Amino acid sequence: MGSRSIEEVSAAAPGAPRWFQLYVQRDRGLSRDLVQRAEAAGYEAIALTVDLPVLGYRDDILRIEFDPGPDAYGNIPHRTAWASELDELLDMRSVGLTWDELATLRSWSSLPLVLKGILTAEDAKLAVEHGAAAVWVSNHGGRQLDRVAAPIDVLAEVVDAVDGRAEVYLDGGIRRGPDVAIALAMGARAVFTARPFLYALACSGEAGVTGALAIMHDELARTFALLGVRTPAEITTGHAERVG
């Protein structure tokens, strides 16, 4: 559903880490084609979204009549209007994906498979047992299932459940450098964030994103210095205290 094709995005970031986020479609052939295109274009992992079998009830989406234009979709057949055909667009996804199907998905390419949207120890264990190279703790930005747990609140149990058999990532609520340090101290291998850079892009374009990245980097470097560590690898559970 990106506004640019897989190949265009890859070409715009030569030498940078590139992962492809996959929403499995009802048409498995289309999904397989996307994965294989991603591998051919130099992507290094497939991040499979597992927490959105249906769209949450979102009043803002229902209110907004937004047409992204004829060139909006770089990777799937064009849909002419967002508001009127949102349900049709989302219905292309598979709502019946099961754990057993992960073997088929992994057979489509040699890339490691990351499961995005894990929020429980039980699912984390199943993910590892079914060949996931990493689990990504996420509640989809908190905008799908209201009152769902915050990722940081379940990170520790997921890390314990994985027990070193796979990497663990986190997104959700990462706004400043100390947020990154907290997640690392609780066992995350890496974190992801989007909204700060989305807002920076909306306000000031490329310069805004560059500035936001500089702020995040500076904050994190200062946080490390104040904690007495030199690298992310030196962050341990002893650097975070859980209260309550």
Q: What pLDDT, in 10s, does the model give residues 89-132?
A: 555 555 678 899 999 999 999 999 999 999 999 999 999 999 99
Q: Is the pLDDT of residue 64 over 90?
A: no
Q: Which CATH architecture has domain 6-192?
A: Alpha-Beta Barrel (3.20)
For residues 212 and 1, give the distance between their C-alpha atoms in angstroms, rounded to a whole number: 25
Q: Is position 217 annotated as part of the catalytic site?
A: no
- Output the average pLDDT for the chain: 88
For residues 206 and 212, give the distance between their C-alpha atoms in angstroms, rounded to a whole number: 10
For residues 47 and 65, give the distance between their C-alpha atoms in angstroms, rounded to a whole number: 30
Which residue, 143, 185, 161, is CA-closest to 56? 143
Give the pLDDT confidence score for residue 58 in this predicted structure: 74
Domain limits, the chain: 6-192
In the set 78, 130, 140, 217, the catalytic residue is: 140
pTM, entire model: 0.87
For residues 188 and 166, give the distance between their C-alpha atoms in angstroms, rounded to a whole number: 11
DSSP state letter for 193:
-
> Model confidence at 158, in pLDDT bands (50, 70, 90)?
very high
> Model confidence at 70, in pLDDT bands (50, 70, 90)?
low
